[in-house]
A and B are shown apart, each in its own frame.
Chain A
Amino acid sequence: MDYLVTVLLPQLLHGLVFGAALGLLALGLTVIFGLLGVMNFAHGELFMMGAYAGVAVIGLTGSFWIALLAAPLIVGVIAAFTEAATLRPLYRREPLYGLILTFGLALVFREGIRQIFGGDMRRILPPFTGSTPLLGMTYPDYRLFLLAASSVILLAIWLFFTKTRAGIVVRAAVQDAEMLDGLGVDVRRVFTLTFAGSAALAALAGMLLAPVFTVYPYMGVEMILLAFIVVILGGMGSMGGSVVAAFAIGITQSLFSLWMNPQRVAIAIFGIMLIVLIVRPRGFFGREGVLE
């Protein structure tokens, strides 16, 4: 019982907290893949830019909460312009073009941020610093908030895609953009708004995780690898799959840390991905043929 409360339960909570935040990041990535057929290599940088936008807004207003609202908006607007200016002309080309473009965008965003803010590490202080006694252990309030906020946002996104007309239009665009175009829907606008929305989601994840991880130009590079694994495991283009895989990876990573050095857990996660890809190439919930 003692082991459960003092060891297993906190690790499980770590996994849930990290999994929820990872889910936010991976969801945007999988939506962009589903919609554009492109693995967005710049997604980690959009995550990082969210944190830096937060640093800038907090510098101006002093408020974490204003920054939490403003950072996704700022990054969303930047992403909308980027999509219109760079990605749109490539939609009818081979996926490789999009891949190379987003790789280039990642470099531009990262170095741009470094030029503006410098390479130093920045900190965003959590809006509350206390801890809560929970089932015999102590857990930081901010991490509990992170879990709750991420879960609510994930639920809201699910409701958006399943219950609203706009969400259904996006899903239809993911399924068959040409048919949607034929039905009179402005598909270009749908693409731009979806890309901007996915970027805003990444930025929100960046802003929420900033008080835990601190802010630095390479923070997106470290996260995006895991987000790619989540998307592959969940099934390329499957939103539900991404959320399930994010929680699975978060919890696996956390529990494995009990028995091996967390530095080696990353290798184990890659091993799991390899096995899943060999046994079930389309991932947990992917449609057959997506990867082919």
Chain B
Amino acid sequence: MKRLTWFVLFLAVAVSAVWVAAPAMSQSKVVKIGDLGSKVGVFEGYGKYQTMMMQMAVDELNAKGGVLGHKIEMISEDDDTKPAPAVRKAEKLILQDDVKLIVGAVSSGSTMAVMDVTRKHKTIHWNSVSCAEFMRTTKFHKYYFSNQPDSRMQANGLAKYMVDKMGRKVYIFYTDYAMGQSDGRQFKTALEKLGGEVVGVAGAPMDTKDFSPWFGAINQSGADVLFLAFAGADSLRLMTQLHSFGMTKKYRLAGIDCFLLQQDLQAIAEPMEGFVQLAHYSAYNPDKNMQAFNAKFKKRYNVDGNIMAGAYDAVLFWAAAAEKAKSFDADKVAAAQEGMCLDNTHIGRQCIRKEDHQVVMDMHLYQVKGGKNLPIATLKGKDTIGEPMVGKDPVEGFTWELKKKL
């Protein structure tokens, strides 16, 4: 009887101990990651798809047991597409939520501002959509990684096609902040190097409502090709207005990687007809890996995937690096990510270049036909990525001055 009393007492203590400790044990098995970007406003489409892509990666990883035995929890924050809120939200994610990874932001201006925060607080930072070249050159730091083709990669890929196949006289029209300025610099340099003539350049502020004041200058420039470096709602408005002024038929049109999301094309199929866009994703690309990824995404969200698939890959890269490093420590994860290759990204195998933490990725030129982004050429990642130029300006001595050809 005495033995039974002791046994019951022991059992009660053991059960109580487990009951008391259980929440603490489960809490210690969670690792948080941050999703930062525009959830409303001019770039909201990119921010919302970033969340969807990351959530899909998180769910897949959690279904396999998480990372280092930790369940991944994602926290999303809206930066209002402005650098100041982006910095505040990044600090909140790092200092309050203790995230081990930040993916974002969407606008290049915000991403560059967030880079200062991730450098200061030693946090792994992935960029999956911002295009400005400065991130992997003058702003680069050891915790920053990118799988978005930046302005230099895009110029290396698209400028030659423009000069060879579309026309030699190009007017560059860009959104006047970090991304557009960077695109303008890189494309002007590349086009002039390839024998093209830049007959005009102009920047319009982000979120411009009426572009018609710029159309007169474009029309008097004598351009064959109109190169457009805009994104999101700006692109939608610009294309609608260009079309209503008859300019989509007058010029051959080309644009950057993030010009429009796949989903927006149907709505402005007519203005976009014939538009040549460099991009690293299309639901109409026959690549079997991209098709498999698109089918998976569509099954889950009932909509095609888009260029934001990079956010999915970013989470996978970080998780694989943490497993490899056997730690969430930023220095160890950063070291593990350098030079890392992964086979299960949305386009199969991709590798991170050690020197500037840029993912070497194949891109494609697409032409819009009937609201569909159809591939017309493939550009090898090794041919477009360019030399690593950490700490240097790739277009040093650049000037916006037009070099008129006689």
Contacts and interface: CB of A to CB of B under 8 A. Distances in A.
Interface string B210-242: 101111110110000000000001000100010
Interface stretch (B3-11, B198-206, B293-301): B198-206
Contacts of B26: none
Contacts of A258: 216-217, 220
A26 to B, nearest CB: 18
Contact of A10 (B203, B205, B209, B245): B245
B214 A262 contact: yes
B210 A213 contact: yes
Interface in B36-71: 40-42
B244 interface: yes
Interface size class of B (residues with CB under 8 A): 20 to 34
Given A120-B41, A121-B233, A261 B203 contact: yes
Given A129-B244, A257-B213, A121 B219 contact: no
A140 B245 contact: yes
Contact of A131 (B213, B217, B245): B245
A262 B213 contact: yes
A81 to B, nearest CB: 30
| B213, B214, B233 — most chain A CB neighbours (10 Å) | B213
B176 interface: yes
A189 B236 CA distance: 47
B246 A137 contact: yes
A142 B210 CA distance: 13
B214 A7 contact: no
A257 B216 contact: yes
A52 B179 CA distance: 32
| B40, B212, B219 — most chain A CB neighbours (10 Å) | B212
Nearest to A219: B209
Nearest to A210: B209
A198 interface: no
A265 interface: yes
A279 to B, nearest CB: 27
Contact of A262 (B204, B237, B246): B204
Interface residues of A, number: 30
A7 B219 contact: yes
Contacts of A164: none
Given A131-B245, A138-B245, A263-B203, A214 B220 contact: no
Given A129-B244, A138-B245, A263-B176, A6 B219 contact: yes
A140 B213 CA distance: 14
Secondary structure at the A interface, as helix, strand, loop or mixed, is helix
A257 B220 CA distance: 12
A282 to B, nearest CB: 30
Interface in A1-18: 3, 6-8, 10-11, 14
B11 to A, nearest CB: 57
A263 B241 CA distance: 18
Contacts of A11: 216
Nearest to B247: A138
B244 A257 contact: no
Given A261-B203, A263-B203, A254 B246 contact: no
Contacts of A119: 40-41
Interface in A253-284: 253-254, 257-258, 261-263, 265
Given A11-B216, A214-B209, A257-B214, A131 B204 contact: no
Contacts of B205: 263
A129 B41 CA distance: 24
B213 A10 contact: no
Contacts of B202: 261
A11 B240 CA distance: 18
A139 interface: yes
B386 to A, nearest CB: 30
Given A7-B219, A139-B245, A212-B209, 10 more contacts: A10-B215, A10-B245, A14-B212, A14-B213, A138-B246, A140-B245, A143-B212, A254-B213, A261-B203, A262-B213
* In the A-B complex, the 10 residue pairs with the closest CB atoms: A138-B246, A140-B244, A262-B213, A213-B209, A11-B216, A257-B213, A7-B220, A258-B216, A6-B219, A14-B212
18 contacts: A6-B220, A10-B216, A14-B213, A119-B40, A121-B42, A137-B246, A142-B244, A143-B212, A143-B244, A213-B209, A213-B210, A214-B209, A253-B213, A254-B213, A257-B214, A257-B217, A261-B202, A263-B203
